[in-house]
Chains A and B, each alone.
Chain A
Amino acid sequence: MIDAMKGTKRYRLGMRAVAALFLAMIFVAAATSSRAEDSPRAKALSKKVMCMCGGCNDTAGTCNHTGGAFSGPCDTAKAMQKEVAQRVDRGDSDDLILQSFVQEYGPTVLPDPPKKGFTWLVWIAPVVAPLLALFLIWEVVRRWRRRVALAPAGGPPISAELLDRARREVDKDSDE
């Protein structure tokens, strides 16, 4: 690798002179050879369908799993990206494209579960659960604050001597 770099450094020095020429070509080249899969809309859409290779659990646009090795999009993902691009070129609407994928592969092709029916739960639970927990905390806090007024509850059956000793030990080797 190092040898290769040395070689190309020399190469680079030699190339300095023609670099400007190449740069002029860049703009010409940039206008050619771009792929339909790279249009922003096709790209965004390919991230809205799951790669159906069955191994990567990722979207077609971000698949990192190849057949037999994990390095870059696998053939399934590439084919799906291409299909998206073709449909975008044909002028299909986003909904239509996604719908056609659902028809082809079934509902698992959508990375976002539909926000209706049973799968609505997947969206609502992460919102409801913390709120529920917040309510519980509120209750606990109220109990804690009320406890000031209460007489000491029937003491837990830990011997006072054991408790004292434990506290002494904690105090002795506490860091803070």
Chain B
Amino acid sequence: MDIFGSFALLLAFLVTVYAFVAGIVGIVTRRTLVTKSARNAGMAVFGLITLAVASLEYFFFTDNFSLAYVAAHSNHALPLYYKFSALWAGQEGSLLWWSWLLSIYVFLALFLNRKKHPELMPYVGVTLAGVQTFFLVLNNFVASPFHVIASADSAGVMHMAKLSEGSGLNPLLQYPEMVIHPPMLYLGYTGFTIPFAFAMAALLGRYPGEKWIHITRRWTMVAWCFQGIGVLLGAHWAYAVLGWGGYWAWDPVENAALLPWITGTAFLHSVMMQEKRGMMKVWNVWLVFVTFMLCILGTSLTRTGIVSSVHAFAESSIGGWFFGFLGIVLVVCLAAWYKNRDYLRSDNQLDSLVSRESSFLFNNLILLAACFAVLWGTLFPVLSEWVTGSKISVGPPFFNKVNVPIALFLLFLTGVGPLLAWRKTSVDALRRNFAWPLVGGLVAGAAGFAFGFRSFYPLVCLILSVFVTLTIFSEFYRGARVIASRDGSNLITAVGELTMRNTRRYGGYVVHFAMVLIFVGIAGSAFNQDIQKELNVGQSLTIGPYTILCQNFDQPSNDNYQSDRATLEVFRNGRSEMMLYPERRLFLASQVTETIVANESTPVHDLYVVYAGRSPDTNLPVIHAYLNPLVKWIWFGGIVLVLGTVLAMIPNRRAAIVLRAATESSWGEAMAQGASGSPATSPARSAPIRRSDSND
């Protein structure tokens, strides 16, 4: 069976190399048959890697410890679902997993477009095969998960050995979210390969820009959404499992996952400039290139250990390969752009500084500034050591100081941007769109100030959050009101109708609202409190409105772990509210300590209680209690973010032909214009934009 898996993997490598070479031959010689064969080869790789993955999973499920990778990451007693997820618990398996997810994307991209875009797809196939080749080189020749355990006998002859028991899975990874978090993140990382391939293909094949943008929008959203879920799940896991009361520490691996998500966000916005106005073509191509390169860079950073990180599980010498690949990608991108840069010329000019166009410019500027600041801070220790020879640290305070103002400005743009009209916004429209939200925000700010909300950044965040929320709701309201008055339906139905008619716009608003929720949750951290105290039975500590009284300590233990547990009663205003049981377990097999946090989470705050261990001086248990306001908003925001993204991907409900004006300040107003009978015109292009369902 081990031969079967590694053979499938080797075959996958050969087939993808064939897809790459034959693809180029097909393009150069213009022979459709060769091109077709290359495409089929590209799709076949998916089947072969699937066999390899299935074979490795088979080893895990059958407890075959003759394989070094299985022996290192599993044991007999491991529950079935963790045996499944142990596949990506280590370097070799996670790279195979990566390769497999990529092959799924490649298969789908090639299959779904098999009868479309004959000028574009050969280039797409070649680019995808190139990326897949790199990963299959790693899978086969650098970090194969199919290495068997062998030992030399006295004569020096190697014999295969089979261990009777594996060393088991890290208990920290034995948590439901750890089954979902890595695949989500990897689906994000690998997913950005598809827009990259289309951008590269469009550039190499000199294919009209609007088309590749249009094809890749959904692919980008899928990757972007997975990346976002992956990051949020990682944050939630850190919060729920690690027991340090926080969810984000600006660790290099966290930063690496955030960077492509930020540039992906910038891309999702700036594509609209190209779709609507034929502008920013060079920029869009480079945004996609950079997003893809950041995915590779992030991986190389975390797997070389050149920056220190908590996620040391992934460290090895493999980073050199990633850096090499990154170099090749950069050279190819530069060459492709240099050769065909003339084709990326803009069609249109900017008419006014107060317009949707310029708001997109700012949006991209700010997102890229955030991306740069994070990357800069992450890499600076390496740079500094390289230049000055002395090591320095760039800690979490740096990232907070630099990124908080940038993020708040971005929040401001979230409110302003969507309400500015394309080309030019009149002062009158500005007043109409922004007066009430602005007043609402300021009133909220004043109320906050009156209630003793005195820190600067949280106050600004409050004002902006209310402002942005009101602009979003007013957009829904104004659009729905027009529909409701015309159809005679109620407002709720009208909101549904409105949303389904333009899912992209209103899905986008839902995502914006999700970001507001997440910002509010993060701003709550400015008011975090914590207290650490030795508690004997009968003693208590006070945090915020709560008094935590220690009732008991015990040591519930079993074959798997020894535990220290506290039984705490929580009082609020003298009334008993709840019992909490923070725990600290020492897993016997692995000698790893795990914290079991007792977290009472409400929308207002989390009462997060940790058993921090025993004091070395008094041998009394130490209880660490945190009161973290609004954390739940972040996780709730994550759910809304997914819903918004899914909404934006649903095709619009009606295939009706709707004339759209590029000058309209909002969809709702276009509806209003339509209702009042004034014909809408489209100055952006001579022909009106026809809207219909699409299922690409």
> Which residues of A approach B to under 8 Å, CB–CB?
1, 4-5, 8-9, 11-12, 15-16, 19-20, 22-23, 25-26, 29-30, 32-35, 37-38, 47-48, 50, 54-59, 62-66, 68-73, 106-113, 117-119, 121-123, 125-126, 129-130, 133-134, 137, 141, 144-148, 153, 156-158, 162-163, 166-167, 169-176
Contacts and interface: CB of A to CB of B under 8 A. Distances in A.
A55 B504 CA distance: 43
Contact of B539 (A20, A29, A62): A29
Contacts of B539: 25, 29, 32-33
Given A58-B249, A107-B393, 4 more contacts: A4-B556, A30-B540, A126-B373, A170-B211
B304 to A, nearest CB: 15
B168 interface: no
23 contacts: A4-B581, A26-B547, A33-B534, A57-B393, A58-B249, A59-B395, A64-B246, A69-B594, A107-B392, A110-B392, A112-B395, A113-B394, A117-B388, A119-B384, A122-B376, A144-B350, A147-B349, A163-B208, A172-B692, A172-B694, A174-B214, A175-B691, A176-B275
B532 A69 contact: no
Interface stretch (B13-21, B43-51, B396-404): B396-404
B567 interface: yes
A86 B343 CA distance: 67
B532 to A, nearest CB: 6
B430 interface: no
Interface in B372-396: 372-373, 376-377, 380, 384, 387-388, 390-396
Contact of A62 (B119, B275, B349, B396): B396
B652 A175 contact: yes
Contacts of A111: 393-398
Q: Is the interface of B mostly helix, strand, loop or mixed?
A: mixed
Contact of B391 (A1, A107, A122, A125): A107
Contact of A30 (B397, B542, B579): B542
Given A57-B309, A108-B392, A119-B392, A69 B549 contact: no
Contact of A171 (B208, B390, B540, B687): B687
A47 B397 CA distance: 9
B2 interface: no
Contacts of B369: 126, 129-130, 133
B613 A174 contact: no
Contact of A145 (B350, B395, B502, B594): B350
A12 B579 contact: yes
A149 to B, nearest CB: 9
Nearest to B660: A176
Contact of A129 (B308, B345, B372, B533): B372
B122 interface: no
B484 interface: no
B242 interface: yes
Nearest to A164: B208
Nearest to B556: A4
B148 to A, nearest CB: 29
Contacts of A32: 539
Contacts of A108: 391-393
Interface string B338-377: 0000110110111101000010010001101100110011
A29 B435 CA distance: 54
A1 B208 CA distance: 62
Contact of B310 (A56, A107, A170): A56
Given A111-B395, A113-B380, A126 B402 contact: yes
Interface size class of B (residues with CB under 8 A): 35 or more
B368 A71 contact: no
Interface stretch (B3-11, B52-60, B516-524, B568-576): B568-576
B696 interface: yes
B312 interface: yes
A117 to B, nearest CB: 8
Q: Is the interface of A mostly helix, strand, loop or mixed?
A: helix
B265 interface: no
Contacts of B652: 175-176
Given A4-B581, A68-B593, A122 B692 contact: no
B503 interface: yes
B207 interface: yes
B690 interface: yes
B242 A166 contact: no
Interface of B: 119, 172, 206-208, 210-211, 214, 238, 241-244, 246, 249-252, 275, 279, 307-310, 312, 342-343, 345-346, 348-351, 353, 358, 361, 365-366, 368-369, 372-373, 376-377, 380, 384, 387-388, 390-398, 402, 406, 502-505, 531-536, 538-542, 547, 549, 551, 556, 567, 569, 571, 574, 576, 579, 581, 584, 591-595, 610, 612-613, 620, 624, 651-652, 660, 687, 689-692, 694, 696
B651 A156 contact: no
Given A30-B542, A174-B690, A62 B244 contact: yes
B308 A5 contact: no
Given A157-B343, A170-B214, A55 B308 contact: yes
Contacts of A162: 119, 208
Contacts of A69: 172, 592-594
Contacts of B309: 55, 57
Nearest to B565: A4
A167 B361 CA distance: 24
B47 to A, nearest CB: 30
Contacts of B690: 171-172, 174
Contacts of B687: 171
B625 to A, nearest CB: 11
A174 B376 contact: no
Contacts of B348: 144
B384 A113 contact: yes
Contacts of A112: 395, 397-398
Contacts of A148: 349
Nearest to A143: B349
A38 to B, nearest CB: 6
B211 A68 contact: no
Contacts of B395: 50, 57-59, 110-112
Contacts of B380: 113, 119, 121-122
Contact of A37 (B251, B532, B549): B532
A141 B246 CA distance: 42
A130 B364 CA distance: 11
Contacts of B342: 156-157
A70 B242 contact: yes
Contacts of B542: 26, 30
A156 B694 contact: no
A12 B350 contact: no
B343 A158 contact: yes
Most chain B CB within 10 A, of A8, A125, A134, A156, is at A156
Contacts of B343: 156-158
